[in-house]
Amino acid sequence: MTHRILIVEDQADIRKLIRMTLEFGEFEIHEAQDGESGLNKAKAVRPHVMLLDVMMPGLLDGYQVCQRIKQDPELRDIQIIMLTARGQATDVAMGEKAGADAYLVKPFSPLELIDRVEAIVASRSPG
């Protein structure tokens, strides 16, 4: 089974790094560059896992996107990994409050990213 992953990150180089890291796995990868398009793309492709940057330009930051997805009965099963350069306890607490399933602090290693995504995918897979 191919798992759909949505990368929501405003910096193209970081999106590219994440895409290249995940291309080795059995993943169907989708991308968005801001909160609004990330939310729309989540509704359209129904990803299994969403890698969601916290600080993005536009109307919605990562916390707001996370909160909206987790409050939507049709989308709340999406596993959300927040990506942030700010790893303070308050940031993590905000992510948890918004409903994030996991947290990765930038800069993270590609190996750490793959481990986290695969662990979440494995925990979601039936049997």
Indicate the pTM of the whole model.
Answer: 0.93
pLDDT over threshold 90, residue 13: yes
Q: Integer distance in angstroms from the first to the last C-alpha of the chain?
A: 13
Is the separation of the CB atoms in 5 and 47 below 8 Å? Answer: yes
Please give the residue range of the domain that contains residue 95: 3-124
Write out pLDDT tens, residues 55-100.
999 999 999 999 999 999 999 999 999 998 877 888 888 989 999 9
Q: How many CA atoms lie within 13 A of 116 on its CB side?
A: 22
- Number of domains, the chain: 1
Give the domain CATH number at 42.
3.40.50.2300
Residues whose CB is less than 8 angstroms from the CB of residue 121 and which lie 6 or more positions away in sequence, other chains included: 3, 48, 49, 79
DSSP 39-106: HHHHHHH--SEEEEESS-SSS--HHHHHHHHHH-TTTTTSEEEEEES---HHHHHHHHHHT-SEEEES
